[in-house]
Structure 1
Amino acid sequence: MYAPQEDTELLAGALSDEPLPPGAEVLDVGTGTGALALEAARRGFRVTAVDVSRRAVWAARLNAVRAGFPVRIRHGNLFDPVRGESFDLVLANPPYVPAPDGTGRPRGAARAWDAGGDGRLVVDRICREAPDLLRPAGCCCWCSPRSAART
């Protein structure tokens, strides 16, 4: 978990570009502090947020309470806690920085940046699994270094 960066701001801005009706179901995967989840809730969406880090889940819950938004926040690995549910929009700000070779799996806060050797460890899983959770006409939005550089 780390303080929200530019890519989080890009995704928050993208929420206004999505033609979602009030009450649409939004999933924030890898919520961290809950910044994207709270922005979606502020816009009137029903939000579920997931993170593998217990510390992040705690922080996101605290931030949701402080902001006064009813965000459902769950602990678990990517989509595992929401199997069988469906969403109009899946948001993700996954790690995309390639891990240095031969360093082993990161521990603690460094896990937030671990994207595997090629930088696609989490993104590839999102691409494989998110379609199963999307409602008809649903979409998935995430940041990658290429999209962040173009904006």
Structure 2
Amino acid sequence: MTDITEGQAAPAFDLATDGDGRVTLAGLKGRSVVLYFYPKADTPGCTNEGLDFSALAAQFAAVDAAVIGVSRDAVKKLDRFKAKHDLKLVLGSDEDSVVCEAWGTWIMKKLYGREYMGVERATFLIDGAGVVRRVWRNVKVKGHAEQVLEAVRAL
């Protein structure tokens, strides 16, 4: 597993997004980037996380921060998820797990004694120069978006 640490250069990413778009780290140069990984679109925790980040969208925009949610869901599913919940952020599709693996969020999980590979709920704050400034692993959704916004404002 890749271990992303604070102070290191952020691994590049290039993702298909909702609305038939693309998002790349290079394309966001000069802006703060909140890259958050979530297990599955339209599940309770992931929906709440998306809603929490969306509720703060104007405040993230005010400090020129891009918020990008990443899952292994197909773009069509992300389109439905975004429309259903009126999410105000970019959703990236990493169906082949390349970005999840590069960021160390494609991990072995356990549920009811069964082991399987899945996406760890984790968030990374990248500064305008492409350096990782904060790392949150095993994120608990409640209050997380507010913590991330405070960290962006502190950059």
TM over 0.5: no
Instruction: Name the structure where strand makes up a greater proportion of residues.
Output: 2
TM-score category of the 2 structures, normalised to the smaller one: 0.3 to 0.5
Q: Which has the higher helix share?
A: 1
TM-score between the two structures when normalised by the length of structure 1: 0.38
Question: Which fold has the larger relative contact order, with Cα–Cα distance below 8 Å and residues 6 or more apart in sequence?
Answer: 2
